[in-house]
Each structure stands twice: as structure tokens, then as C-alpha cells.
Structure 1
Amino acid sequence: MSEPQKLPLIYVRGFAGDTSGINQVVTDPFYGFNEGSTHIRIGPDNEPDFYQFESPLLRLHLDEGYEILMDGSQAVYLDSHATVPPNSIWIHRFYDVSASTWSARPQEFRIETAAEDLLTLIDTVREKSGAPRVHLVAHSMGGLVCRCLIQKVLPDLGRDPAACVGKLFTYGTPHGGITFDFGLGMLERLRDAIGVNGAQIFGPERMYEYLTPKFLTGPDGPPPGWDPREMPSDRPFAFPRERVFCLVGTNPADYDVAHGLSAAVVGSRSDGLVQIDNAYVPGAHRAYVHRSHSGRYGLVNSEEGYQNLRRFLFGDRKVEAALVGHRLPDREDTAWQAEVGLSVRGMQIVMHERTTAQWCPIQLRDAVRNVTAEGADGDAADTGACVPLVDTFLGSDLPRPGDTGSMRYALHLRILSLRERNGLLSFGSHLEQTADFDDTLVVDVFTGRASSAPALSAVWNSDIPGSIRDHLPDGSARTDENPEPGVWVGHVELPGTAAPILGADARIRLTVTPWH
């Protein structure tokens, strides 16, 4: 099987604010995609430590062989070369025309214009590289520029976005807009009415305009219940949501270090600027990392962000984990939560982390209701519910320190309960940061051709004698329960200690499929 062709990659940056902010942005040749970092939060005291991350731009050059092409400017290079290599990175410099440093009459920034110019760049790069599509990588507002292209500009032209865009990866994009944690909506209405520095683009009225094609736009603005996060799959030229990955930041405090009182206004369940619930597209892939919106602890200039990006773009296997068949104790006074962590062998960071301390645990009863409403597998009364825990992407050709012939990752699962009395939390029998169930599932996906049926081994840490690093799969792969070729499905029973909480039938369902 030949290696799939590398597709060109286009980076789209976030909101710059007023003219002075725009002027500062345009002095950077790569609009921030070249920014690395040396700070990382580590340890229980949350003190910073030194960790050198070179930047996503340099890492894509070193790890994946991408080229950075310029001849005074990328535009000049494209104009002066008949062909360009497909493994190339391009920066969508949409803010240049709005900078006063180039002209005394800068153009007003409009998100639709930025999206139209992005299409011009995509078509040029595709034509000169011979690549069928490009990947889009975006930070913050840049993801909305990409969605404007995908959901409005291309459909209005009668073009299928899936024909020219391969995958879309967003860092901290306000897919649901930017909302505030207090003020009962007054601050949002004031922002949208005044439009300070163009910030009304993060309000529902303006988002409806640039995320809805003309042939579907109503005369009275967004209809009741309209959700800007949605990328509808039931309309003409719909872009597949499985090609979208949203990286969600959960650390508001470090954004405040550089941006004052932002987190106090937006709220603690955020990355300091974008609330957690607004940072993803429902139905798309997503990961939660304890990083802020930007700054020295930001999403883009982080190892966590890069590793999720790299595996989503270039991995060859997708592994999904879900909690199925469970039954929570019938206690109306108890709220049940799941915490999930995902670590990949050889990585010095956690790839995905949903915890109560970071304001983003999985609310199990809510998850059950949501899954049941969507009619997902396993939601019948006789079988219990299905709660997706995490999906990740692995690469058989990525370096694996301590390689044992498999791609290994660990799924850390904790189940916690909170008692309530008269609508208030009750702490009479509470043990802080102590879970009712706590164990780690160690999963080995064995290498092979991406099109072949995978083999998989999984064991709970509580059943591994000694250290995990010394654990070797015994060679007996788990049984594939799915007859469909190329798709592996299996169930892993939970340890017996979980039965009083989740029921005797609770298990982890693992699904492995080819990914490219």
C-alpha cells in the first residue's frame, strides 16, 4: 500500500482587534504559527517548568517534511512558480489589507472577504500543487473564517467544500460565539450593538449572516433555537463533521496573566476567552487540554495542540472508546461524573483531559439523556446507555519509544459522585478528590497496514503486576466482534470493583478503524 499524498496546509490566524493590533500581526511573517514556547504547567503545585516546544510550523517541517516557500512573499512565490510541492505550508494573510502600515487607506476587515480570499488561495495552491484538497488549521476566529468558507461561500457558488478541503483543525475557536458569565446577556447585546473593534462577529446575529448560505438565510435573522456551533449535515454541500477536530482549552487563569480580567468576564469554564461549551462543533472530534487561549501557555504553541493536530492529519488509525451497558445507582440525590485522561506512549504530555478540577468532567446522567435522544447504539432500556469517552488517532509510522510492536495508549477513567440535599451539595460523607472508581486501561493496537484488520490488546492497570512500562502484551489479541472488514470492535469488562457503581454489564467498547 503506497503512502497517501501529503496535502498542502493553510494556517488561518485569529482575531487581532483594532488597527494597532492588526499592525502588530502583519509584522510576523507567519501570523503566529511560528511561535513556540518554553513554559509548561507541571506538578500538583501548578508551578511552571521548562519545556522547549519549537512551534507547530517548525515541527511540521521537521516531523512531516513540509516546506515553507517564499520569494519575498508567498504571493510572489505562487505567482512566479508554475508548480509547488503538495507538502507545503501557506499562511492566509487576510489582515494585510487592513493594516495602516501598508496604506493610508486600510480596508475594513470583513469575515466574508477573508473567507473569499481564502478560497482564492486554496484554488491557487491546489492548481499549482496538483493536490485534490488542502488541510485548514485555524486558531480562534480563524476557525470561523474557515467555516464561513465551508458553510456559506462555497455553497453559494454551488461548490462542494469536501472537494477542496481535506480536514479542518481548530484551536480554541468560538464556534458558539463568545458569551459572558454574568450580565444576563446585556454585555453581549452591548458588544453587538456598538461593535467595538469588530467584536460583533462573535454574536449570534452576525454569525448567522456569515455561517448561513444565501439560499437558506431567513429575512428575520437566526430562527429560535439556532445554534452557531452546528455544521448541519442535512443541507446541500454539507461538509462531513468527521473531518473536523476541535481542540478545547480549559485553563482560564493563564490567559488572564496577559489579558487582565478576561476570564472573570467569560467565566471559569473557559480558556480565558472562549467558554468550553462554545469551543467545539457538535458531532466533530474534539480533545480537551489544560491550556489557555493564547500566551505563553497557549493552545497553538503547545505540545498538546501539536500532537493532536499531527495525529488527526496524518494518523492511520482512529480508536474510539465508549462506556456502554452501565447502570447508575437509582439515587435522585446523587450526581455522577466521569473523568477521562488519555496518554500516548512516548509523549511527555496528556493528549486529552476532562476533569472536575478543570471544569469539564463528563456528566453521566446528562450524557445518557443526550445519547438516548440521539438514538445512539446501546441506549435501549435493556442494555443501558452509551457514553462516548474519547476518540484518538494513532500513527503506525510515528516514532514509538520503547516500541513493542504496537501503538500504545492509556485511558484513565475515574467515576465520582456528588450528593445533594435540598438542592445543595452535601459534604457530610465527602472525601475530596477521591473517586468511587479509579483505574487505567492500557491499550495496545498492533501495527500493520492501515487497510488490514487491526489486532488489539487491552488490560486494566490494576491487573498489571509491576510498572506499566514493563508490561508486554501476551500476544493473545482480543476477539473482533464486528464482521465488517477493516473495522475492529471489542468490549473490555470493567474490574469487579466497578460493578456496585456501574453494574455488572458495564464495559468499555473500543472501535478501531482506518483513518486517512
Structure 2
Amino acid sequence: MAPAPKLPIVYVRGYAGNTAGIDKVVTDPFYGFNEGSTHIRIGADDAPSFYQFESPLLRLHLDEGYQIIVDGGQELYLATHPRIPPDSIWIHRFYDASATTWGAHPHEFRLETAAEDLLRLIETIKEKSGAPQVHLVAHSMGGLVCRCLIQKILPDLGRDPAEVVGKFFTYGTPHGGIAFDVGHGVLERLRDLTGVNGADIFGPRRMYEYLTPKTLTDPDGPPVSWDPRAMPPEQPLAFPRNRVFCLIGTDPTDYEVAYGLSAATVGPRSDGLVQIDNAYVPGAHQSYVHRSHSGRYGLVNSEEGYQNLRRFLFGDLRVEAALVGAHLPPRGDTAWQAEVRLSVRGLQIVTHERTSAQWCPIQLQNADGGLGGGADGETCLPLVDTFLHSGLRAENSDTLRYALHLRILSLQRHDGLLSFNDHLEQTADFDDILIVDVGAGPAAGPDFVAGPDPAAGPEPSTAPTRSTAPALSATWNSTITGPISDYRPDGRSALGDENPAPDLWVNHIRLPATAAPILGDDARIRLTVTPWD
């Protein structure tokens, strides 16, 4: 099948604060999407190793062929050119009208107005590019502007947001608002009451106003059960959550260094401004990376953020890994946690990372004291949900290689408090790495079935075309002799397809025997692969 044509990308930046902050923002031609970084926290002797990340703007240009069109200003270019290329990047400059540096009378920023202006920009881009949709990429508050468009503006117009927006990616967006770890809610109430610098947009009442369609709005304000993070699938004209990706930052310290007391008030389980639990839409794709909200080690100007963005927008396979069939030992005095890291061969960063040291391990027990259940009644704990880009395979390799690092840790409790009498800090009860190689196919089992080939002509056949399912192999690092880089998969590690359904590939990989005393004899890693458009 021919690759799908690329859609225009519209970037929507985050909150700028007061007038001085807005005036500073508007001096940047690309509202920060062009900011890169020249440090990464790896290297010998505890010294940072120099690493240059050019910026997501430039990397999309270099890696994916996107055009950066300005010529005196993007708004001017759109006004004076009847046609624009679809593979282009556009900046929603919604703060320009609120700046004092243009010599005009500035308008007070209003989030709903920014969302309405975003729709006008999208319509112009669609009309002049011929593209059916655009991708939205947003940082921080910019994600709330996009959600206002998706959840309120378009439904109020009776329009399906899925016909306007292709995919929606957020960096550190406060989907659940901004809360503080100190003050017992006093700071939030003071912010929402005074609306200082428009910061009440991060409180529940204002969020309810700009995220709820008129027909569903309660005049008394948000119901007690209302969750600002939710993009309810049952609402009319709801945007599919599987087309939303939330990048979650877990490093509060670098943001504190750059911006003062933010991390001290928000708390350590955050990116310095947005708490981890508020940084995602339930049901959407998620990735955790050890980056701060912004600054020198921020989310947008990071390789971690870019690699997740690129694979979500342009990847061709979606892979889910889950721990299934596990049963924890019946010890009421023990709490169990899982740590997960996902590494990709050829990258100097980890694309997904949930660890205790970064305040975001996976808690293995649910409210009933056991692991959650899957659709088939078997215990199921999601570990990783990621995207593969077959075009990124190294020239000297016939496979894409991914490493899923899984650690299981236990914490002893006594009378409701943690007990450290027999504790070994940061020492895992189980620790191994699943090495997964993804080839070009074919795998055992049926091929993937895809829709009609758009390259077949103006009257394509209604019969589905067949695309080759990927060939996968997997093995645990504990069984590999020598360096992982020297390992080459053989027939013994090949994985067959256990599910005959089209567009679906499934295989269960048993955990090493060393995990059995902790997770039981039936514990497996379930890999699920589906085509990703």
C-alpha cells in the first residue's frame, strides 16, 4: 500500500502568564516550537555528555520532509498564496492580539477565543492545502485550547471533530487542571477567585465552561463527579481517544531551577508545574519521560518528546505490552510495584520510563488487593503502549529492536507504615529485559487486512487489500550469552500469531522461571500488534 499522505501540523503553545510574558512570547516567530537543547543527562564521571537536539520544528523538516513556510509571516503567506503544501507546519499565534508591542490596543486573552481562532486557521489551511484534516500538537495550556475546539466549539456547531483533526498530541498539558501540594486547596481557590493573569483557566469551574458543549452544560457548574481530564466517548460528536497522545513529564527539579518555586508548591510527583495524575486523558495513549514542563530540560525541546511525537504521527504499527495471568503472593503486609522502561536501538534516550525514583511506578494492587482483570477474566496489567515506524530501521539491520525492561519491587508494611528492617533500597525482586525484534514479515498466521489502496486509482476495488503482518521474535536478556548488541534472533525466538482475526497479531511470552515465586507460573507478557494509520 502507498503511504498515507501527510497532513499539515498546527502547533499551539502554552500559557505565557502576564503581559510581560505575552510580549516576550510574540517576539518568537515559532512560539517556542523551534527551541532545541544541547545537553542530555548521560555521560561518564557524572558529567553531562554533549548532545544536540535541533528542535521538533527542524527535525520534522529534516526527518519527515515538512516545509516551514514564513516569507514575512505565516498569516501573510496564507493570505497571499492560493495553494500551500499539505506537508507543512503552522503556528497558531493566538497571543499576538494580547501583546502590547504591536502598537495596537491589546485584547484580553480568552481561551474560547483562541479556540475559535484556531478553527479559522485550520479551515484556511485545509482549503488551501486540500488536506482533509490537520494534526494538532500542543504544549501545556495549548492542549486545553485544542480540547476546547474539539469538545465544545465544533460540537456546538454540529461538526464532527474527527473530520477536522487527524491526531492530537500534547506535551505536559494540564488535562486535569493545575493543583498544588500545599495549602489544602487555599491556593487553588484564591487563584480561581481572583483570576490573576487569567490563571483561573486551570481551575475546575472555568475548565467546565470551555470543555462542555452548550447542550450538556449545567448552569450550576460542574457536577461533583465531573473529571476535567475526560473526553467522554459516549457524548455526541466525541473525538476518538485512540487518536490522542499525552506525553507526561516526571522531572520537577529542572523546572524549579528555571522558574523558581513552582515545583515546591505543585509537589515532586509532577513535571514542576503539572502533576502526573493531571497530565493525561484517560483512555488516550500515554508515555512517561523524565523531563520537566519547560526550560533547558523541557518536554518540547527534548529528543524523548520528539521520538514519541514522530512515531505517533507517522508510525505504521501500534504495539501494546501487558502483564497477564500474574498472581501476587497472598501477603497482606506487602505492597508490590512494577517499573518499566522502553528503549529503542539507535536512540540515546528512553522513550517511556516509569520508576519509583521518578515518582511514577505502576502499582500492582488494585482496590481489591490484586491485579486488574482483562476482558477475558484473566488478570491484565498494561505496561507499554507504543508505536513503531518501519521506515526508521537502520540500514545495516533487518529488524527494529526494542527493549522492555521490567522490574518488580516489594515494600514491606507494618501497622500501616513502611518497614525497612529487611529492606534493600532500589533492589528488585525480579529484574529482566525482554528483547523484541520486529522484522518486515511475514509472521506466522494470517496477514493484516487493510482497507482499499488509495493508489489504485479513482475507482478502487471495494475488496480489502492485504498487508504483511510483522515478523516478531522475543527473548529474555537473562537467556542471552554475551552483549545484547551481538545477539541475532533465530527460529527458536520467533513468535507466531495466536489470534486469527484480521488486523490483529497476538502472542504471549512466558516470564523466566525466576518470576514464578512472585507472579505465579502463568505470568506472561502479551504483545498485541495492530496496523497504525
Aligned to 1:473: 489
Alignment of structure 1 residues 52-131 onto 2, 5 Å: 52-131=52-131
For 1:446, the equivalent position in structure 2 comes to 439
State the alpha-carbon separation in 2 of the partners of residues 177 and 196 from structure 1. 15
Once residues 492 and 44 of structure 1 are traced to their aligned partners in structure 2, the CA distance between those partners, rounded to angstroms, is 36
Query: Structure 2 CA distance, aligned partners of 1:358 and 1:191?
Result: 28
Matched, 1:376 2:371: no
Residues 25 and 31 in structure 2, CA contact (< 8 A), matched pair in contact too:
yes
Q: Is the 8 A contact 1:345 1:409 kept in 2?
A: yes
Which residue pairs with 2:387 in the alignment?
Answer: 393
- How much has 1:475 moved relative to structure 2? 3.8
Match of 2:512 in 1: 495
Is contact 2:364–2:371 with CA below 8 Å preserved after alignment? Answer: no
Q: What SS does the aligned partner of 1:377 have?
A: coil
51-60 vs 391-400, which moves further: 391-400
User: CA 1:368/1:57 → structure 2, altered by over 3 Å: closer, same or farther?
Assistant: farther
Q: Distance in 1 between matches of 2:172 and 2:247?
A: 6
Question: Deviation string for 1:423-481 (max 9, x for gaps)?
Answer: 11001110111000000000111125983222210100001111111111104521211
Once the two structures are TM-superposed, the CA of residue 407 in structure 1 deviates from its matched residue by: 1.5
Q: How many Å apart are 1:299 and its aligned residue?
A: 0.4
How far apart, in 1, do the equivalents of 2:192 and 2:17 lie? Answer: 14
SS at match of 2:256: helix
Counterpart position of 2:451:
none
Q: Tell me the amino acid that sits aligned with residue 471 of structure 2.
A: A
Which SS does the other structure have where 1:170 is aligned? Answer: strand
In 1, Cα distance between equivalents of 2:138 and 2:46: 28
Cα distance change, pair 417–370 in 1 and its aligned pair in 2 (3 A): closer
Q: Deviations over 1:55-106 (max 9, x none)?
A: 0000000000000112211111111111111000000000000001113420
Gap runs ≥5 in structure 1? none
- Secondary structure at the counterpart of residue 397 of structure 1: helix
Separation in 1, partners of 2:48, 2:172 = 22
Aligned-partner SS, 1:489: strand
Write the deviation string for residues 321-362 of structure 1: whole angstroms up to 9, x where unpaired.
000000011111111000000001111100000000000000
Give the secondary structure class of the aligned counterpart of 1:412: strand
Partner of 1:245: 245
2:523 is aligned to: 506
Q: Is the 8 A contact 1:454 1:486 kept in 2?
A: no
- Cα distance 1:284–1:44, how it changes in 2: closer, same or farther (>3 A)? farther
Q: Please report the TM-score for the alignment, with normalisation by the length of structure 1.
A: 0.96
* Percentage of pairs with the same residue: 73
Amino acid at match of 1:442: I
Residue 7 of structure 2 contacts residue 135 of structure 2 at CA under 8 Å; is this kept in 1?
yes
Letter in 2 for 1:164: V
Summarize deviations over 1:145-202 as a string: whole Å, max 9, x none: 0000000000000000000100000000000000000211111000100111100000
Aligned to 1:149: 149
Contact between 2:364 and 2:370, CA under 8 Å: does it hold in 1? no
Number of equivalences: 509
Alignment of 1:222-237 (within 5 A): 222-237=222-237
Name the amino acid aligned to 1:434: T
Q: Deviations over 1:97-127 (max 9, x none)?
A: 0001113420010110000000011111111
In the alignment, structure 1 residue 436 sits paired with structure 2 residue 453: no
Give the 3-state SS of the residue equivalent to 1:187 in structure 2.
helix
Deviations for 1:186-239, whole angstroms, at most 9, x for unmatched residues?
Answer: 110001001111000000000000000001000110001211000000011100
Residues 323 and 389 of structure 1 are in contact (CA less than 8 Å); yes or no, is this contact kept in structure 2? yes
| Pairing of 1:170-249 with structure 2 (within 5 A) | 170-249=170-249
Write the mapping of 1:255-266 to structure 2, written as runs, cut at 5 A: 255-266=255-266
